[in-house]
Amino acid sequence: MPAVIVLGAQWGDEGKGKATDQLGQHTDLVVKFNGGNNAGHTVVIDGEKYALHLLPAGILSEGVTPIIGNGVVVDLDVLFEELADITARGVDCSRLLISSNAHIIPPYNRLMDQANERARGNNLIGTTGRGIGPTYADKMNRIGLRIQDLFHPEELRAKVEAALAPKNNIFEAVDLEVLDPAEVSDHLLSFADRIKPMLCDVSLVVNDALDRGDTVLFEGGQATMLDIDHGTYPFVTSSNPTAGGALTGSGVGPTRIDRVIGVAKAYTTRVGEGPFPTELDNEVGEALRAKGGEFGVTTGRPRRTGWFDAVVMRYSTRINGLTDICLTKLDVLSGYDTIPVCVAYEVDGVVTEEMPLDQAGFEAAVPVYEELPGWSEDISQCRTFEELPRAAQDYIKRLEELSRCRIQSIGVGPGREATIVRYPIQ
């Protein structure tokens, strides 16, 4: 598997960290291509839990080169805090490489997140408040700060002063702290010497690796339904977590990609605001949340829960060109007599098996369910597909049919080893 993209196929929190960690054990490079510390990956190794927010999950695999690509926005405080934390736990972080073109999240953009949410009033987006959106906005407005700017102090100071002046006016208007551009610049420049050994031309490094026949894994943050172009706009993230984002966020061409793996839960969750057709806003949803431990790795916010949505999954298969699905948390569904699966939507009296044409249609969508037999057995120790109860096997096969993509692996527990591999990735 020379070049493989791993991404979220639903609304995030699908278990991409575990999937990337597992595949990362057999790769040479793992490249994070979008987002920032607004998402978290949880990896459990030998019973020890690692919560990664900015660092690629591949950093936990010995011998793998972890890379932060140009499509990522980097909070320097978080980066070095996270590096210090996992280094103290015995993880070798000396292999980390970072694109010099990656943008920096300055302190004032965390305040901009707060200011924007205050201005929205009751029309909240549900941002994590990490400054991700404002930093991507600065990037598009061509007033952003890149990591390479740390080595040109006077230019960086000028950029900070120009970007901060209008933002300070906003902060003052909404009763937030007004920042001193000199202090902001000094703080950012203090990281220059520490980050300099990590910098590289990621596009060159990755393409050279592929030319050598090395295996490269591209790791996405957030998920398809949060994509700025293809997600449930405006309740989306500020980057492209879809397969196309892996190319622009790392500097490789589409002809170099061999497989695209979408990670999906055996049910569905969502954090923050926005439409969610299969949401269980009741005791059933609360029980599913508790059983699945559905609380955000980064924010701690409770996740909204619902049944598996095959309409969303088919859409994700199409948008990303998925070759495989990595299904997680099947063990959470043990104990249900029957398990509903959304196979279509009813919108204004019309049944459709595809995503509605517009956002209003999606918000009005009523799920059409198919009831599948459940199972009562504990499946956490199963390591082959044949060991699963017949009903669990049938559930997987039906999801495969509905998703129009093969289910390559099945997660039956949080640990690295708690996985059934049906089809080795080659």
- Domain boundaries defined on the chain: 3-102+198-260, 103-195, 264-421
- For residue 171, give every residue at least 6 positions away whose Cβ sits within 8 Å of its Cβ, in sequence order, or none: 108, 111, 115, 177, 178, 179
- Which helix (H) or strand (E) covers residue 367, if one does? strand 366-373
Same fold across 103-195 and 264-421: no
**Given the structure tokens 């980050």, which residue do they identify?**
195
Three-state SS at 52 = strand
In a 3-state reduction of DSSP, which class is residue 181?
helix
pLDDT 10s digits, 316-344:
999 999 999 999 999 999 999 999 999 99
Catalytic entry in 32, 41, 53, 230:
41
Q: How far apart are CA 355 and CA 367, in angstroms?
A: 12
**DSSP 8-state assignment for residue 226:** G
Residue at token pair 């559905």: 294
Q: Which residues pair with 369 in a beta bridge?
A: 342
Let me know if 152 is a catalytic residue: no
- Token pair of 417 as six digits: 């080893």
**Confidence (pTM):** 0.92
- The answer to whether 350 and 399 have CB atoms below 8 angstroms apart is no
If residue 151 lies in a helix (H) or strand (E), which one and from where to where? none
* 105 DSSP 8-state letter: -
Query: Is residue 13 part of an annotated ligand binding site?
Result: yes
Annotated binding-site residue? 106: no
303 annotated as ligand-binding: yes
Q: Residue 142, annotated ligand binder?
A: yes
378 is in an annotated binding site: no
Q: Which of 26, 77, 85, 139 is catalytic?
A: 139
Beta bridge partners of 73: 103
Peptide bond into 234 cis (omega under 30): yes
What stretch of H or E contains 338?
A: strand 338-347
Would the annotation count 14 as a binding residue?
yes
Q: Please report, in tens digits, the pLDDT of each residue of the chain (426 residues total).
A: 689 999 999 999 898 877 777 776 679 999 999 999 876 667 777 777 877 889 988 888 888 999 999 999 999 999 999 999 999 999 999 999 999 999 999 999 999 988 887 777 666 665 667 899 999 999 999 999 999 999 999 999 999 999 999 999 999 999 999 999 999 999 999 999 999 999 999 999 999 999 999 999 999 989 999 999 999 999 999 999 999 999 999 999 999 999 999 999 999 999 888 999 999 999 999 999 999 999 876 667 899 999 999 999 999 999 999 999 999 999 999 999 999 999 999 999 999 999 998 999 999 999 999 999 999 999 999 999 999 999 999 999 999 999 999 999 999 998 878 999 998 876
The values of phi and psi at residue 253, to 5°, are -90, 160
**103-195 — its CATH code?**
1.10.300.10
Length of the chain counted residue by residue: 426
Question: Does residue 328 contact residue 264 with C-beta atoms inside 8 Å?
Answer: yes
Question: Does the annotation count 53 as an active-site position?
Answer: no
Phi-psi region of 13 (alpha: psi -120 to 50; beta: other; left: phi over 0): left
Fold of 3-102+198-260: Adenylosuccinate Synthetase; Chain A, domain 1 (3.40.440)
In the chain, % of residues over pLDDT 70? 96
Amino acid at position 275, single letter: P
Reported as a single tens digit per residue, the pLDDT across 54-105 is: 998 888 888 899 999 999 999 999 999 999 999 999 999 999 999 999 999 9
CATH topology of domain 264-421: Adenylosuccinate Synthetase; Chain A, domain 3 (3.90.170)
Contact yes or no for 310/400 (Cβ under 8 A): no
Per-residue b/e over 288-309, b at no fewer than 16 CB within 10 Å?
A: bbeebebebebbeeebbbbbbb
For residue 156, give every residue at least 6 positions away whose Cβ sits within 8 Å of its Cβ, in sequence order, or none. Answer: 145, 149, 150, 185, 188, 189
